[in-house]
Each structure stands twice: as structure tokens, then as C-alpha cells.
């Protein structure tokens, strides 16, 4: 069964069709990407899938369950996490506290009023910081992290929710070349070793072709091409709209 199934999803902001009759499917264990120029509707698509925006029509099914227009916290509890394009972290808390917060929420311990938080989820938090390569910054205030580390923290927070399905909105935006590949290798490892289903958006073509097994090209809110990186590369429409603009 498909882990994610999207049927004829539509969303308009005023007169602007941000998502236009999008149908999409993902199998468990996939690592796929959505590409498209700025304003193609990539982020809106993620926002619709995670409950940030309400869809005008269409359905979103997660493991066969209709989650269309559920509020974000309920979608998150089902096992869908997301990392944002602009890192969306707790700037005044430490790196460690950022990650711990996600883990405590996942463990449903946030209604605990009387155990000091610093005694809880120690092992899980340290492990996750290790995975994300943030251990040495554990006690740093997140707002003081470098741009790349903020994005890594963003990813770590998303992983703290122990998702089965992970949406990454431009996970390497603002990263250096080395950082980009480091991060994408981490994403690949998560996909292979933890059998996490991952969908990410990206505008750096090298990143997309190097890692995603399946590409979907979005343009003006609609899907215009889909397939393996090679297929998309040779697709005329996709070339014209996306690759053409890049070149």
C-alpha cells in the first residue's frame, strides 16, 4: 500500500492557483524529490500535506487514512514530520533543548508537570544530536549556530518526532557545497538504514539528480513531469520549463 496518496489536490490563494489538481503517490521506503522553479508551489504542496494550509478540494491519504485538512499536531502524531525551508527552530533554547522538546513531544511527556525536563530523554536526545552531527554544539543557544547547523538542527527536530514519512523543504538551502553533500548523505542514510520514506524539494540540480530515485516536476502548481532523474532530464516540457530556466 502506498504510504502517501494525494488525489486531485487544489489550493488557490485569491486568484492564484498554488496547487492545481495534483495527484501523487509514494511507496514506503522511497527517497524522492519535487523540483520546480521558485513559486512553482512546492512549499504550498508541503503545507497542504502537513495541515498548515487547508486544501480547497482533493484528498490526502496517509497509510490509507484520510488526513485531509487535519490540524498539524494530529498529522505530526501520526508519523509525518517536516523540516522547513527557512530553519524554524527555538532560537533562544539550546541545541540540546530544541531536540529534546521534539522527543518529549513524541514520547507524549509534555503534560508532565513535575519531573525536571533535564532528567528526561537524555539518551535519545544525545543519540539524535550525534546522528545530526550536532553533539559538539549541544549547549549552544540555537540562535548562535551557523546557518548550516541551524538547518541540521531543523532536520534533527523533525527526526525527533520519529516519523515514518519525512518532508524536507530545501534541506540544503544556504549550505556550502561540502555541507550540502554531508547533509544529503545523512538523508540517504536515514532513508536506507532507518527505512524512512523521504520527500524533499530542492533547487540545486546536482543534489536532486545525485540522490533522489524519482523526480516530480512542479510548475505553476501542477505536475508536468514525473519519473527517474534520467527520464525527467530527457523530458521536453520539463527541460523547457525548469532546466531551461536554470541554464
Binding residues vs another protein (CB under 8 A) = 50, 52, 71-74, 76-77, 81-82, 84, 88-94, 97, 100-102, 104-106, 109-118, 120, 139-141, 143, 157-158, 160-161
Neighbours of 65 (CB within 10 A): 9
Pick 101 or 216: Cβ nearer another protein: 101
Pick 128 or 208: Cβ nearer another protein: 128
In the bound complex, what is the minimum distance in angstroms from residue 192's beta carbon to another protein?
Answer: 25
In the bound complex, what is the minimum distance in angstroms from residue 87's beta carbon to another protein?
Answer: 10
In the bound complex, what is the minimum distance in angstroms from residue 72's beta carbon to another protein?
Answer: 4
Pick 45 or 211: Cβ nearer another protein: 45
Pick 82 or 214: Cβ nearer another protein: 82
In the bound complex, what is the minimum distance in angstroms from residue 180's beta carbon to another protein?
Answer: 23
- C-alpha dist (Å) from residue 160 to 29, 147, 176, 240: 19, 20, 25, 40
Length of the chain: 247
In the bound complex, what is the minimum distance in angstroms from residue 96's beta carbon to another protein?
Answer: 11
Pick 10 or 107: Cβ nearer another protein: 107
Amino acid at each position: 500500500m502506498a504510504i502517501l496518496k494525494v488525489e486531485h489536490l487544489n489550493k488557490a490563494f485569491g486568484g492564484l492557483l498554488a496547487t492545481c489538481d495534483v495527484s501523487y503517490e509514494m511507496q514506503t521506503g522511497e527517497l524522492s524529490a519535487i523540483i520546480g522553479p521558485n513559486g512553482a508551489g512546492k512549499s504550498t504542496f508541503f503545507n497542504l500535506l502537513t495541515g498548515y494550509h487547508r486544501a480547497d478540494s482533493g484528498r490526502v491519504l496517509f497509510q490509507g487514512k484520510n488526513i485531509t485538512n487535519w490540524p498539524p499536531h494530529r498529522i505530526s502524531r501520526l508519523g509525518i514530520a517536516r523540516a522547513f525551508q527557512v530553519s524554524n527552530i527555538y532560537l533562544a533554547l539550546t541545541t540540546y533543548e530544541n531536540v529534546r522538546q521534539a522527543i518529549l513531544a513524541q514520547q507524549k511527556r509534555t503534560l508532565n508537570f513535575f519531573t525536571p525536563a533535564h532528567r528526561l530523554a537524555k539518551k535519545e536526545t544525545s543519540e539524535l544530536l550525534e546522528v545530526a552531527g550536532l553533539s559538539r554544539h549541544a549547549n549552544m543557544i540555537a540562535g548562535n549556530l551557523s546557518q548550516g547547523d541551524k538547518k541540521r538542527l531543523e532536520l534533527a527536530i523533525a527526526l525527533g518526532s520519529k516519523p515514518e514519512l519525512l518532508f524536507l523543504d530545501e534541506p540544503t538551502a544556504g549550505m556550502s557545497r561540502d555541507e550540502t553533500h554531508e547533509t544529503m548523505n545523512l538523508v540517504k542514510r536515514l532513508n536506507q538504514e532507518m527505512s524512512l520514506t523521504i520527500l524533499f524539494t530542492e533547487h540545486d540540480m546536482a543534489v536532486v539528480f545525485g540522490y533522489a530515485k524519482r523526480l516530480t516536476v512542479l510548475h505553476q502548481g501542477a505536475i508536468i513531469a514525473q519519473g527517474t532523474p534520467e527520464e525527467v532530464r530527457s523530458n521536453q516540457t520539463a527541460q523547457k520549463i525548469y532546466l531551461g530556466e536554470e541554464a
